[in-house]
């Protein structure tokens, strides 16, 4: 198992990973419809864009993988406006059982973010996704906000979004 930068050949593996991630976590914002809407053409384009963004320091994308599969995917995207270019948004997905690798992956990502001049990282997540919240909390992120009733579920219940931040 290794943690590495995203590569052009990862597109198909990322599609499979995303399908597994959504299937194992019913509390995600993404649904099985989102999985079905992904095509290899779109995923190839998205993967190549992420690689290009890596090269220009607009984004850092890492994966947890062996030769056959991806078990975790994360990125920090630098914000675009001049006044907030020092800020990055963290997003990630990690399959169950790979949390320790996920923690290492995100920690490495934070170090790389600091190297390219990102000073503040934020993470916006569903309040119901306790695994992700636990992981970023263990890495020193602090809850800095909450948006009540952000997602409305089919059963008419709501889930709040929480915002976590970390100064690098």
Task: Identify the domain containing residue 103 by its residue range.
Answer: 2-122
Residue 84 in domain? yes
Q: Is the pLDDT of residue 29 over 70?
A: no
Residue 157 in domain? no
Residue 22 in domain? yes
Residue 24 in domain? yes
Strand order in the sheet with 59-65: 2-5, 59-65, 70-78, 87-94, 120-126, 158-167, 142-152
What is the average pLDDT value for the chain, to the nearest integer?
Answer: 91
27 — pLDDT class (breaks 50, 70, 90)? low
CATH code of 103's domain: 3.40.630.30
Residue 99 in domain? yes
The number of domains in the chain is 1
108: Cβ–Cβ under 8 A, 6 or more apart, which residues?
3, 62
Q: Write down the pTM of the prediction.
A: 0.88
């Amino acid at each position: 198992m290794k943690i590495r930068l995203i590569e052009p050949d990862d597109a198909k593996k990322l599609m499979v990973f995303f399908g597994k991630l959504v299937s194992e976590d019913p509390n995600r914002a993404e649904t099985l419809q989102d999985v079905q809407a992904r095509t290899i053409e779109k995923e190839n384009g998205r993967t190549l864009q992420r690689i290009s963004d890596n090269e220009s320091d607009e984004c850092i994308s890492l994966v947890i993988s062996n030769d056959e599969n991806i078990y975790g995917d994360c990125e920090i995207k630098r914000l675009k406006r001049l006044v907030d270019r020092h800020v990055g948004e963290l997003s990630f997905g990690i399959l169950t059982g790979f949390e320790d690798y996920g923690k290492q992956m995100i920690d490495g990502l934070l170090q790389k973010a600091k190297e390219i001049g990102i000073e503040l990282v934020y993470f916006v997540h569903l309040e119901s996704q306790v695994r992700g919240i636990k992981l970023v909390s263990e890495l020193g992120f602090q809850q800095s906000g909450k948006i009540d009733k952000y997602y409305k579920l089919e059963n008419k219940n709501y889930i709040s979004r929480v915002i976590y931040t970390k100064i690098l």
